[in-house]
Amino acid sequence: MTDIKASIGAIVRATAGRDEDGLFIIINVIDHEYVLIANGENRTIKKPKKKKLKHLKFLGFVDENIATLVSTKRLQDADIRKSIKSFE
Amino acid sequence: MIGQKNEKQIELMRKAGSIVGKTLTLMRDSVRVGITTRELDKIAFDYITSQGATPSFLNYEGFPASICASVNSVVVHGIPNDYALKEGDIIGIDIGACYKGYHGDAARTFMIGNVDEKTAQLVRETKRCFFKGIEGLKAGDRVGKISNAVETHAKKFGYGIVRELVGHGVGQNLHEDPQIPNYGSANSGDFIPVNCTLAIEPMINMGKAKIFLKNDNWTIVTADGKPSAHYENTILVTKDGVEILTLMDGEEIDD
């Protein structure tokens, strides 16, 4: 059975904790177990949430634009909000 | 950290792998027009349990069946149901068996009756991607060597390579380090130690790489609705090369 890769730009749904059911974008991959997620609102680029991959549901969509913005260090909270909105 | 196996563990991996290979053989012999994916799931469950093993996927993170049955535009993780196979379908069947605590994991894409040539080519070349991936592989190589070889072959045909789903280490857990993407630079990734077991699994789309997760939270489909093929084996990497642990009976390698 295929494993799911945590990629920057992936849209995920939180399945546990205070953020349960919210949509987020992975903005950094710490290791095999942990990533940083943000939604541009209460979880911002400056204060992202460290989350266990186990507590995220991957939705099969990676926003390549977000990945590019992260790699060029130009990502802003508005980009994240826009991306999540377009996914909803 | 990529785990290494001792002789005893390797023997258990061989046994788990052989149960998976035999179950896939049964699937190959059972797929036909009219059979439902639920019936295939039952056949797999009965065989795996008759061998003193347990289906690795059943209840894994809540997965409700023993096999993943992924028809046509379903990439992976299709849940068996009452869909009856039709002439011209392709079906990816992914199977895991856990024997005395060790998992074997493998997948094949089978063609039902006459499949159009473009789709048949996708199935053949996806299998070939796997064999390109392990060509010349031995301990000390980097994971990227596999990734790059798969990507290079798939790109020759203009296929979409799924990016969000990857192969993985396998052993006492179904998913272990490292992750093995089907794309990337040959000089990337961890170095592969001797006596480790890996599940290498190209997932190749006829159209674009983009995928979507359906509302059942499992089924992954191509975004453009075009077919997708999957081929996977559990392998043992040694200092001299590779041993494939999950081949079907009489299966030709790289036909």
* Domain spans of chain B, in order of start: 7-244
pLDDT in tens, chain A (88 residues): 988 888 899 999 998 888 888 999 999 999 878 999 999 999 999 999 999 988 898 887 888 899 899 989 999 999 999 999 988 7
Segment B100-149, tens digit of pLDDT: 999 999 999 999 999 999 999 999 999 999 999 999 999 999 999 999 99
Q: Which residues of A touch B (CB under 8 A)?
A: 1-5, 7, 10, 32, 57-62
Residue type, A49: K
* Domain B7-244 classification at class level: alpha beta
Segment B62-81, tens digit of pLDDT: 899 999 999 999 999 999 99
Put simply, the answer to whether A57 touches B211 (Cβ < 8 Å) is no
Q: Does CATH number 2.30.30.30 belong to domain A10-87?
A: yes
Give the whole-angstrom CA distance, residue B138 versus residue B178: 15
Closest residue on chain A to B78 (Cα): A1
Mutate to test the interface with A, among B98, B164, B175, B203 (most CBs of A within 10 A): B164
Q: What is the dihedral of CA B41, B43, B47, B50, to 10 degrees?
A: 100
ipTM over 0.85: no
Give the whole-angstrom CA distance, residue B105 versus residue B230: 13
Give the whole-angstrom CA distance, residue B154 versus residue B57: 28
Instruction: Map B176-201 to HEC letters.
Output: EEEEECCCCCCCCCCECCCCEEEEEC
Q: Where are the domains of chain A?
A: 10-87
Helix pair A77-87, A64-71: axis angle to 10 deg = 170
Give me the residues paired with residue B120 across strands: none
